[in-house]
């Protein structure tokens, strides 16, 4: 996991519509940047829907929400449509940004050790600095926790 107090590494990935999105496009706004393991799984769906349901509250705080997983653009599009998501989700099937943000680690899954995305959330300020970082966040409460944090 990257440390707080450093400049968030810039990147370019495609969103659920296949459009390129750069982190630097959001300078001047806060950004909740969260990494999640897989589209259409129970925890990831709760997390994405929670952020989506609260998106207007985030916008009132001058904050955008961006989710990243290793799923494809096509998978993200299906996820967005099925769950009626109102947040940006970015595809990183090559793990470029996932590894850049140091969220790809060995995990214990059903007694087996596997490599995977560790559910991690960063808060990036208007100047592109990481001001909060937490790994192994709880999917169900992460959206509420982040909203409370940015309202402080």
Instruction: Kindly give the interhelix angle for 42-53 and 73-83, rounded to the nearest 10 degrees.
Output: 60
- Structural domain for 144, as ranges: 12-151
Which tens digits make up the pLDDT trace of 116-136?
999 999 999 999 999 999 999
Judge whether 88 lies within some domain: yes
Report if residue 7 sits inside a domain. Answer: no
Q: If you search the block for the tokens 């060995």, which residue do you land on? A: 106
Residue 34: which of 114, 104, 120 has the closest Cα? 120
In this structure, the chain runs to a length of 152
CATH of the domain at 65: 3.40.30.10
Q: Which residues are catalytic?
A: 44
Residue 3 lies in a domain: no
Q: pLDDT tens for residues 42-71?
A: 999 999 999 999 999 999 999 999 999 999
Task: Give the residue ranges of DSSP H helices in 61-103.
Answer: 73-83, 96-100
For residue 2, is it within any domain? no
pLDDT of residue 152: 83
Q: What is the pLDDT of residue 111?
A: 87
Q: How does pLDDT run across 21-33, given as a tens digit for each residue? A: 999 999 999 999 9
The two three-digit tokens of residue 33, written as one number: 């940047």
Let me know if residue 5 belongs to a domain.
no
CB 130 within 8 A of CB 3: yes
Number of domains observed in the structure of the chain:
1
Strands 63-69 and 30-35 come out as parallel
Strand arrangement, sheet containing 20-22 = 20-22, 12-15, 88-91, 63-69, 30-35, 120-124, 130-135
**Sole residue written with tokens 């259409």:** 40
C-alpha pair distances (Å), 72 with each of 52, 93, 126, 138: 20, 6, 28, 24
Residue 108: predicted pLDDT: 83
Convert the pLDDT of each residue in 85-128 to its tens digit. Answer: 999 999 999 999 999 999 999 888 788 898 999 999 999 999 99
In a domain, 86, yes or no: yes
Q: Is residue 61 part of a domain?
A: yes
């Amino acid at each position: 996991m990257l440390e707080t107090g450093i400049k968030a590494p810039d990147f370019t990935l495609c969103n659920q519509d296949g459009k390129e999105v750069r982190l630097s496009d959001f300078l001047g706004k806060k950004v909740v940047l969260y990494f999640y393991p897989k589209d259409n799984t129970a925890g990831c769906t709760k997390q994405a829907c929670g952020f989506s349901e609260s998106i207007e509250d985030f916008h009132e705080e001058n904050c955008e929400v961006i989710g990243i997983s290793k799923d494809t653009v096509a998978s993200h599009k299906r996820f967005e449509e099925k769950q009626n998501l109102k947040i940006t989700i970015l595809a990183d099937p090559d793990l470029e940004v996932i590894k850049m943000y140091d969220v790809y680690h060995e995990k214990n899954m059903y007694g087996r050790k596997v490599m995977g995305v560790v559910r991690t959330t960063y808060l990036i300020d208007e100047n592109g600095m990481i001001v909060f970082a937490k790994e192994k966040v709880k999917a169900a409460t992460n959206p509420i926790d982040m909203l409370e944090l940015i309202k402080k």
